[in-house]
Structure 1
Amino acid sequence: MNELHFFLIDDDEIFQFIMKNTIQEINPEIKIQFFTDGEKGIECLKENLDAANKLPDIILLDLNMPFMDGWEFLNEYKSLKSDLKKEINIYLLTSSNSQQDVERAKEISTLSGYLVKPLSRDGLKDLIQEFPTAEWYENEL
C-alpha cells in the first residue's frame, strides 16, 4: 500500500480524534492533516499549489461547518483544481443522508463520493485499500 496523505476537514474535534485513531490503526503510514473549516483547507491548498508532496491524495469533507461549509469549499476548489500539481479525491463525509444532498453531490464533477457518518472502520478500510477508486462511491442510505 502506498503512503497516503489525507485532509480531514470537519469542525467536530471528537470526530477528528476518532478518525485519526481509526485511520492510523488501519495504516500508521497515512499522513493526516486536520482543518476545522473549509476556509483553512482551501488556504492550505493555495499555499501548496506547486508542492505535490504537501497536497493530499484524499480529502474527507464535512458539509456543515462554520466560516466555509463543504459546498462553498467545493466551489473554491473548482477554481484551484487546474493549478494543483496532484489529482485529489474528495469525499463528502457528512451526517446528512438527505437524497437532495446526494443528488446535488452527484452533479459535482470534482467529487469522488458521498459517505454518511458514522463511517464504519470497515468502510474506511475499504476506501483506503481500494484507493484510487474508479467509481463514484456512495454509502447505502
Structure 2
Amino acid sequence: MSKPAHHILLVDDDDVTNFLSREMLKIYLPSPQIDTVLNGQEAIDFLHARADQPELLPDIILLDINMPVMDGWEFLAEFEKLKRPGFEKIHIIMFTSSVYYEDIDKAKTYAIVTDIFSKPLDESKINDIISRCS
C-alpha cells in the first residue's frame, strides 16, 4: 500500500475546529491521512509511538497554541528534545485563533516552526501550507 500524499496531525482541543479542518483538508488535498489529538501531550505520545517507524510519522503538524494539559509552546519544547530519525521531515505549522502579535513573533523564533496561520483553514491557507511544506 502506498503512502498518502499528505499525512497531517491536527493538534487542537476544539472538536469543531478539528471537524472543519478535516473536512477542508479532504476537499482540497488528494487522499490525505489525517490524525487528530486534543493537546500537546497526546501529540508527543502519538510521535513517540511511531518513533521507530518514520514512515508512520506525519508530514505536517497543525498545532494550536492554547490547549489544556500541554499547550503549543510546551509541545514545541518537548518536540525539540525528540531528535530521532524521520522527525526532521515533519513541518510544524502553528494554527491558532490567537491575534496577539506576541504569539506570532514568538512562533517565528522557533526554527522548527515552518509558519503560523490563523484559523479557520480555507483553500488559500491549505495551498500555502502545502507549498511551504513541499
Answer whether TM exceeds 0.5 for this pair. Answer: yes
Q: Which runs of 5+ in 1 are unaligned?
A: 134-141
TM-score (norm 2): 0.90
Q: Secondary structure at the match of 1:105?
A: helix
Please give the alpha-carbon distance, in whole angstroms, between the structure 2 residues aligned to 1:8 and 1:125.
Answer: 17
1:131, CA displacement in angstroms? 4.5
Q: Secondary structure at the match of 1:83?
A: coil
Matches within 5 A, 1:79-118: 79-80=81-82, 82-86=83-87, 87-118=89-120
Q: Which has the larger displacement, 54-63 or 117-126?
A: 117-126
Give aligned pairs, total: 130
Please give the alpha-carbon distance, in whole angstroms, between the structure 1 residues aligned to 2:127 and 2:103.
Answer: 24
1:28, CA displacement in angstroms? 4.0
Q: Secondary structure at the match of 1:79?
A: coil
Q: Secondary structure at the match of 2:80?
A: helix
Q: Which has the larger displacement, 99-108 or 62-71?
A: 99-108
Q: Report the RMSD for the aligned CA atoms in angstroms.
A: 1.4
Structure 2 counterpart of 1:25:
27
1:121, CA displacement in angstroms? 2.4
Q: Which runs of 5+ in 2 are unaligned?
A: none
Matches within 5 A, 1:31-110: 31-80=33-82, 82-86=83-87, 87-110=89-112
Greater relative CO (CA pairs within 8 A, separation 6+):
2
Q: Secondary structure at the match of 2:67?
A: coil
Please give the alpha-carbon distance, in whole angstroms, between the structure 2 residues aligned to 1:101 and 1:126.
Answer: 20
Please give the alpha-carbon distance, in whole angstroms, between the structure 2 residues aligned to 1:117 and 1:84.
Answer: 31
CA distance 1:126–1:109, shift in 2 (3 Å): closer
